Structure 1
Amino acid sequence: MKLKQLSLTVAAVLVAASASAAAPKLAVVYDAGGKFDKSFNQSAFEGASRFKQETGINFIEVQASSDTQAEQVLRGLARKNLDLIASIGFAQQAAVQKVAKEFPKVRFVLIDGVAQGTNVNSITFKEEEGSYLVGVAGAMASKSKKLGFIGGIDIPLIRTFACGYTQGAKAVNPKVEVFSNMVGTTAAAWNDPAKGGELARSQFDRGVDVVFAVAGGSGMGTLQTAKEKGKLAIGVDSNQNALYPGAILTSMVKRVDNAVYDSFTQVKNGTWKAGVTAKGIKEGGVDWALDASNRKLITPEIEKRVLGARKDIIDGKIKVIDIRSGAACPV
């Protein structure tokens, strides 16, 4: 009996060792906004953490504070012969493309950008669709009919958010005005909450009563200022409703967490593929957030209108223009 029990114990140890040896080696590289930006990067961290909790497989995490550093960080990780490196943010596009070519046996996933390579999977989002929904909500909640938009840097991605937001708002009321400002021109623009708050105050002084912050960590200043001024803000990327209950109308959720979680799972299961994947409302990539934190702000009329628009986008009845396709913003 003891011999049999010992054999079973040894077998269990060997199976565990084999499983551990087979576990993929994974990494996440955050951009300048940082792991705890309560937005884009934090959503990526949450997805990786969910994977770790469910599988017991750990991951390396590093922050790249600049585009130049991103290349150095990626190259250093690639030399460790990792199975997959998840690069968070479009700013790492050039670094991923260059380093992936140098290390063809290492797989890369670029979240929120497109990089070329037979060992690269690029995951993009249809931000215009989610932004359309919060634009609808913003226009209906606004009393002044003046909406604000604060972006990080004036680039096509951020203009896509702004255009989708404006399309949704003007679908409700063509006379709605949308004021837009950008935080800066460098990577520091994603982590400057003081400037985000300053721009919000300026917009509120001009009559804006609902502002959409798409500026990473800088957006935290916008949300806080909305709370202080008794105005409404709209969060982005992760569900930010609970940060300032009663002041955040809703959040345009971009499921970066699912993108990271799914990529890690695919590597683990041997189903990972290179290419480009675009995720909109229908694909579970973007949406709006409705929960206990903002329930009192979303009237039945707002909810009905937003859900109707959501369904029409999924069914193809509403075509939200993506300016990255070359089309001009129609509003």
Structure 2
Amino acid sequence: MTRVCRKCGASRHSSVLQCDCGYDFRELRGYCIAILYAPADEPYMLQLSRHLAPLVREGIDAWHPGDIAPGSDRSAEIDSHILAADIIIVLVSADYIAMDEFYNRELYDALITGTKGIVPAVLRPCDWRSTPLGILGDRWTGEEIVISETAVPDTAWSDLIDRVRHLLGKDPTFVSWYRTHPVEELQRAERIKPSQRALLEKATKQGLQPIHLNEFNTIGRSDKNSITLIHPSVSRHHCIISTKTRVGGSGNGYGYFLHDLNSSHGTAINDNPVSRYYGLKHGDQIRVGDIEMRFLLVG
């Protein structure tokens, strides 16, 4: 068994730890790849696994949900491996976008904040471009790999592996999300006390309607969102409200942040248009399209 030196191109036996040119074959050890897919797409995942084998031999840790032990908490396992991964490969299909798992908080945090390399591989034609993954296309690492439009699938898989190798050849330590944001937008997030819960208050004909917030909330016109707002000014996937570690300011802990998903009619906080993560305070007036709501911390 041999492997090719990425520096000089020479072939070396797999037992050799360092090439004559000085390249250390162990330099990839410790880096992690997470593969996300639907159970129905297991055959595609197996194809990808075979193409990933050389990287695994070089020390990469490649994980996928099929590795989850029976009886384990699937959601918690997926979250922890997304957090640990340096690169996330998403196998996109109609089966996967139909799963709640596709709308994973950690995946979209990684997309929005740019803290990981995201490589989508489209397995079969589907309406994925209208999902948050498609809307946040400017956050991908390069163009998506389309398996279904390739005459020889091995060619597409090989292109995907080249993309991964390119990412790993660069410094895979991506810039922390908070380093790319104005400090004042992050410090304004109000600290959540253990006894508090967050909600949005929306005015209706029947009175004020409370909408309770979880740690991760997608908001939009589509019923795939955790909060559905039916109005022409609201995009199918309009914005995200989620908790993140507070940066700066007084006290430690978490706060709520809002991020617009490139919506058509925009999102505003206290009449100020926002696009990226923006800290929320008790009493903030949020406008999603033309829908007005108030952010509250109660308890």
Q: Give the TM-score range, shorter chain.
A: 0.3 to 0.5
Task: Choose between structure 1 and 2 for higher RCO, CA contacts under 8 A separated by at least 6 residues.
Answer: 1
More strand by share: 2
TM-score between the two structures when normalised by the length of structure 2: 0.33
